[in-house]
Structure 1
Amino acid sequence: MKNQTQHHFIKINGVNIFYREAGPKDAPVLVLLHGYPSSSHMYRNLINDLSDKYHLIAPDYPGYGRSEQPPIAEFAYTFENYSVIVQGLLDQLNIKKYSLYLMDYGAPVGWRIASNHPERIDTLIVQNGCAYDEGLEAFWDPIKAYWKDRNNKEAETTLRGFHDANGLKWQYTHGVPDQSVISPDNWEIDLRHLERPENDQIQLDMFYDYRTNVDLYPKWQEYFRTYNPEMLIVYGKNDYIFPVAGAEAYKKDIKNLEYHLYDAGHFALESNGNEIAAAIRQFLDKKTGTQK
């Protein structure tokens, strides 16, 4: 029997964090880390699909979804700080062992957590998230230009366009064979938090901070080789943001790898959620010993 999703707020390091939770508290835990420019809302269907036998937790990062958005002057909007917030949430919920679902921005947040605490990781599920230079193709050119010069107005204008109304819709629909299956509610909900005062600057700050993730790629790749984590890749193969070359690259270092590509775009759960949920269930049943 599937469990109804609960919606909670909790203070972590002084910030009011929103998270969704479902499933038996004594079941194996799956932590769902969302991407840019979305929130835990992107996992609403997956949570429902898996909540009969898994304990699902999906937080919103500060400045995203329903979590608090502290002023920029009072909070460091960085991937490192997001990983500290997520780890703080897990610690406060007394969760010691878990699988991580890593999507887009959720990947660098999750890789920090996994490489810092490899003993806590059951499995890793990667959906359109990167840990290799091969995954940073043409989409990243203006971002790389911004890394070189934060005063590059042409790059900044391009980056702002990624999360305006048209840019949001493009992120959800590009590469999707049948766009009618993508709910417009997705980008309307994202737009709500993106229109908060200072949020546009937060997004630019996060784009700039992404360079710190690239610097850590060698460390994370070493983590893969050293600990050989069990990994499932469920990837939208038509993604322009994190193209399939980034998925292929994991094969260089991950020995315990199950690999699936779908005829989908960046937000693959929106068009192929049922297939992905089935693959995750089969994988977790096998790897966490819940198979009956």
Structure 2
Amino acid sequence: MKSSRSEFINIRGLSYHIRHWGNQDAPMLFMLHGWMDMSASFQFLVDALQREWHVIAPDWRGFGLSDHAGTNYWFPDYLGDLDAILQHYSPAQPVYLLGHSLGANVAGVYAGVRANRIKKLVNLEGFGMPNTQPEDAPARFATWLDELQGIPSLRSYATQEEVAARLQKTNPRLSDERAAFLSAHWAAPNESGAWEIQADPAHRLSNPYLYRVEEVLACWKLITAPVLWIEAKNSELLTRMGSKEKARAEIDRRIASIPNATILMVDNAGHMLQHDQPEMLAAAIDQFLD
């Protein structure tokens, strides 16, 4: 494995953990992880890259080794954090940006809003959320208010091996070796020896605000950078969009809003495709960013 190093910087009042791989003089490639994940999730992808890159991957607020932010996990906060991170490392030059899942959704909106800041964009499974209707709002607000009356929590595990088994339950394609590596970053032992997930339980609170896909697509339409859109053929997320045919039609409609998108479908991979097929991804990314 390629070695990484950690850095902690202040981003909008929070201590942010930034993971670095590679030579600091090499071209910068920023990688943004997904929900309930962390920067080390990209280790296998970084290992497979053939070109020399300075990979910079933050732990989002409330994940990994970054500070928790209470209940401040609104989508615009991720945009604000990304803007500050890019300003810190590349204040004048546009950057190569890669995002997975939540990170890809943040990167996609940002690439439209700050089009001059992005040189090329790689979207890994950043479909967006299922659309909502205005009449969904009352129930959503009520659910959020109810949840605020309790204390959210995340399950703990007796051993690191149990953590690895939990990761393999979610992703059966994950090898024992990769599960062991990820478990050491996804969770950590507490004072009593139990392994706790490195994430703020407040992430489990429902979002009271509705997802309005047309607003997202309005941002995507302003992207000027070339985009490599990568999907897993066995992605678990597509079922959230409805039937296979309905989901495919909706995803294709969303992709069509991006002015310059190249589509890659990855065989034998699920949503965590950077774990399932890192070599295939790395080859495509190296070629796209060349």
TM over 0.5: yes
Task: Name the structure 1 match of 2:192.
Answer: none
Post-superposition shift, 1:84?
1.3
Task: Quote the residue 1:204 is aligned against.
Answer: 204
Give the distance between the partners of 2:234 and 2:171, measured in 1 at CA. Answer: 5
Instruction: Give the aligned partner of residue 53 of structure 1.
Output: 52
Residues 38 and 64 in structure 2, CA contact (< 8 A), matched pair in contact too: yes
Q: Secondary structure at the match of 2:84?
A: helix
Q: Measure, in 2, the Cα distance between the counterparts of 1:53 and 1:198.
A: 31
Q: CA deviation at 1:102?
A: 1.7
Match of 2:94 in 1: 97
What residue is the counterpart of 1:236 in the other structure? 232
TM, length-normalised to structure 1: 0.73
**In 2, Cα distance between equivalents of 1:167 and 1:128:** 24
Structure 1 gaps of 5+ residues are 137-143, 286-292
Partner of 2:107: 110
TM-superposed CA distance for 1:98, in Å, is 0.9
How many residues are treated as equivalent by the alignment?
264
The structure with the largest alpha-carbon Rg is 2
Distance in 2 of aligned mates of 1:146 and 1:164: 28
Select the residue among 241, 247, 267 that pairs with 2:272: 267
Partner secondary structure for residue 179 of structure 2: coil
Q: Name the stretch that deviates more: 273-282 or 186-195.
A: 186-195
8 Å contact from structure 2 (residues 46, 282) kept in 1: no
8 Å CA contact retained: 1:35, 1:105: yes
What is the rounded CA distance, in whole Å, between the counterparts of 1:175 and 1:3 in structure 2?
A: 23
SS in 2 for 1:85: helix
Aligned position for 1:140 = none
Deviations 1:54-87 (A, max 9, x none): 23110001211111224x2xx7222211221222
User: Does structure 2 retain, via aligned residues, the 8 Å contact 1:240–1:266?
Assistant: yes
Letter in 1 for 2:143: D
| 3-state SS of 1:90 partner | helix
| 8 Å CA contact 1:99, 1:122 repeated in 2 | yes
2:122 aligns to what? 125
User: Take 2:223 and 2:199, find their aligned partners in 1: how far apart are those partners?
Assistant: 40
CA distance in 2, matches of 1:281, 1:198: 31
Return the offset for 1:32: 0.6
Aligned-partner residue type, residue 257 of structure 2: D
Letter in 2 for 1:252: A
Change in 2 beyond 3 A, CA 1:22/1:198: closer
Q: How does 1:59-208 map to 2 (within 5 A)?
A: 59-70=58-69, 72=70, 76-95=72-91, 96-131=93-128, 133=130, 149-150=143-144, 173-174=169-170, 176=172, 182-187=178-183, 189-192=185-188, 195=196, 199-200=200-201, 202-205=202-205, 207-208=206-207
The 3 A distance-change label for structure 1 pair 122 and 264 is: same
Secondary structure of 1:192 counterpart: strand
Tell me if structure 1 keeps the 8 A contact 2:8–2:16.
yes
CA contact (8 A) 1:30 1:99 kept: yes
Distance of 1:160 and 1:239 partners within structure 2: 27
CA contact (8 A) 2:34 2:101 kept: yes
1:241 deviates by 3.0
- AA aligned to 1:76 is N
Deviation string for 1:206-248 (max 9, x for gaps)? x416x45x23x32332233344531112222222235573654
CA-to-aligned-CA distance 1:233-284 (integer Å, 9 cap, x gap): 2222222235573654443223422222222112111111111111111111
1:279 aligned partner = 284
Partners of 1:8 and 1:128 in 2: how far apart? 27
Call closer, same or farther: CA 1:227–1:112 in 2, change over 3 Å: closer
Residue equivalent to 2:28: 29
Query: What's the TM-score, normalizing by structure 2?
Result: 0.74
- Please tell me whether the aligned partners of residues 38 and 190 of structure 1 are also in contact (alpha carbons under 8 angstroms): yes
| Contact kept in structure 2, 1:171 and 1:267, CA below 8 Å | no
